Chain A
């Protein structure tokens, strides 16, 4: 047993609890938070190297052998996602130091951030279905509090809907768990996989699989279930939106990938066909929204939806390049979406408006902001030196091998429209005639740009050094395509 596996989970949890007691000294809170996030990233990095060397590792909580106890499973996919969670959290923390008002900081922003990280990391690492539900609730509870923190009118109104949607999807999650338990009599994912393989996934199990798709699709915002996302992601302050866009929908996507590769993979002609269709419509719905709006938040929010479509498409093609591309794109998407939301946050601080038509000409006075927005936009669309390119290339290759030519065509077209939607922001807001509020009325943007520069730098390294990241992602893909590796590591008999 490798005790390092539980470190990324325990560190934010313990620090979060400590932070609750020192509400009055924000400086100490900041120091402890940054310490926690950096310690978590370092521990995860060491864990990642050891997973690559020794294969999938497990941590049996309380010493109970699985399937009887809860087990944490560290395979390459989970650990990579935990690492990127840490990096996104680091950037958002740095942004929040200057980009968040004093009141929000005094009312438990930093402990909530730590609990959100705990929930996300737990959802990535757990090997038990009900435990996954519990970690979903941990991250959802922190996100409820984060979305409404500050108590502005629009925040209250939108978080009402966000909470309602998630209460319903949690109820459906428990329903799905109940059905699956009545058929298989177990909750451990590896054991579930074996038992579903033994009974060869009868129709009722496929129905349950689709119920899980509805549950996780609600969290991940795939096509018919993304209606709640545009409102709730544009209501909170930019740093919270960046956290949500970087982490929350990705947990839903991860759960879909996990469930449909480890447990319900026996009838891909039904489940993965449906996934492919939904992915295509999600891409279309996302880009239509991204092109339609004049509002900076809305443009980005719909780009989040389109990104979900790409990753689910990688899963639906269900072959090595497709899954590889999906995972690579997922990692890239976490960095870039957070970076874009933080950059838009900085732009809104300067221009005091979210409308694209009311302000322009930022480039002269804020060149670093302007150029880094351009870099983020190109990376989002998948232009070669940045990280978006490699993932999309593999997605297309996987789609062609799976003979899903139409979806590949939609993917290429939607990439073009994604590029159009963000370049429109670049040309109208950043370039153009100078038309921004006078200097004394502008917010202070000092210290708000460099957190996104860190994320963009990481994205650039990911794009240039794709070869360096290759073995990790390839290992994750191999584990996903061969559930036996996962089962053997967990149950080891």
Chain B
């Protein structure tokens, strides 16, 4: 099971990288979204995908799944939510100010 998920994570990383290397800001942001999905899935996989009850003591099971990666993922998800929403608004404001969403046209600062 871990091998299958690892391949999926690899695919997500590939797609994310490809999209981040494109010129359009929206595609880049979609790329970061996919990249963070891949990272969160990786975190879950690396904790081990052994069979066990959900980490609730009320279940009174013989074994539970590892609760720590789940807490880490929850933290990472809200952080990437915050950053992504900021990034989206930033892209919107940049589009309003510069009139373009092409990264190639947003290059360079005017210097002497």
A487 and B98 CA atoms in complex are apart in Å by 53
> CA separation between A153 and B84, bound complex, in Å?
21
Nearest Cβ distance between residue A294 and chain B, in whole angstroms?
5
**Are B98 and A168 in contact (CB-based, < 8 A)?**
no
What's the least CB distance linking B29 to chain A, in Å?
Answer: 9
Residue interface bits B2-39, CB-to-A below 8 A is 1, else 0:
00000000000000000010000100100010011011
Q: Are A156 and B75 in contact (CB under 8 A)?
A: no
Instruction: Map CB proximity to B onto A173-196 as digits: 1 under 8 Å, 0 otherwise.
Output: 011011101100001000000000
B109, A154: Cβ atoms closer than 8 Å: yes
Which residue from chain A places its CB closest to the CB of B41 in the assembled complex?
A: A178
Set of chain A residues within 8 Å of B20, measured between Cβ atoms: 164, 168
Q: Is B83's CB within 8 Å of the partner chain A? A: yes
Q: Contact: A357 with B109, CB < 8 Å?
A: no
Q: Tell me which of A144, A171, A187 contacts B86 (CB under 8 A).
A: A144
Q: What 1/0 flags go to A154-172 for Cβ under 8 Å of B?
A: 1011111001100110110
B63 on interface, CB distance cutoff 8 Å: no
Which interface residue of A157, A175, A178, A354 has the most chain B CB atoms within 10 A?
A: A178
Please tell me if the beta carbons of B79 and A182 are within 8 angstroms of each other in the complex: no
Chain B residues with CB under 8 A of A156? 90, 93-94, 97-98
Contact of B76 among A145, A174, A231, A295 (CB under 8 A): A174
Contact B75–A153 (Cβ < 8 Å): no
Q: Does A404 contact B (CB under 8 A)?
A: no
Interface residues of A in 96-137 (CB under 8 A from B): 130, 133-134, 137
Residue A234 is within 8 A (CB to CB) of chain B in the complex: yes
Q: Is B46 interfacial (CB 8 A cutoff)?
A: yes
Rounded to whole Å, the gap between the CB of B32 and the closest CB of chain A is 5
Number of A interface residues in the complex (CB < 8 A) = 42
Residues of B within 8 A of A157 (CB): 94, 98, 106, 109
Closest Cβ of chain B to A343, distance in Å, is 20
**Is the beta-carbon distance between B42 and A178 smaller than 8 angstroms?**
yes
Q: Report whether over half of chain B's contact residues are helix, strand or loop; otherwise say mixed.
A: helix
Given contacts A164-B32, A181-B69, contact A137 B83 (CB under 8 A): yes
Q: In the docked arrangement, what's the CA distance between A295 and B110, Å?
A: 10
Contact of A130 with B94 at beta-carbon distance under 8 Å, contacts A168-B20, A181-B47 already known: no
Contact A177 B90, beta carbon cutoff 8 Å: no
Report if A141 contacts B (CB, 8 A): yes
Contacts of A179 in B (CB 8 A): 46
Q: Is A442 an interface residue (CB 8 A)?
A: no
Least CB distance, A397 to chain B, in whole angstroms: 39
- Residues of A whose CB lies within 8 Å of any CB of B are 130, 133-134, 137, 140-141, 144-145, 148, 151, 153-154, 156-160, 163-164, 167-168, 170-171, 174-175, 177-179, 181-182, 187, 231, 234-235, 293-295, 298, 354-355, 357-358
20 A-B residue pairs with Cβ-Cβ distance under 8 Å, sorted by A, are A133-B76, A137-B79, A137-B83, A151-B97, A153-B97, A157-B94, A157-B106, A158-B109, A160-B91, A160-B106, A163-B83, A163-B90, A167-B32, A170-B80, A178-B39, A178-B42, A178-B45, A181-B68, A182-B46, A234-B109
Q: Which 3 A-B pairs have the closest CB atoms?
A: A182-B46, A355-B112, A178-B46
Show the binding face of B for A, using Cβ within 8 Å.
20, 25, 28, 32, 35-36, 38-40, 42-43, 45-48, 68-69, 72, 75-76, 79-80, 82-83, 86-87, 90-91, 93-94, 97-98, 103, 106, 109, 111-112
Task: Kindly list 18 other residue pairs between chains A and B, CB separation below 8 angstroms, not including A158-B109, A160-B94.
Answer: A130-B75, A134-B75, A144-B86, A156-B90, A156-B94, A157-B94, A157-B106, A160-B91, A167-B32, A167-B35, A168-B35, A174-B42, A174-B43, A174-B72, A177-B43, A178-B46, A181-B46, A294-B111
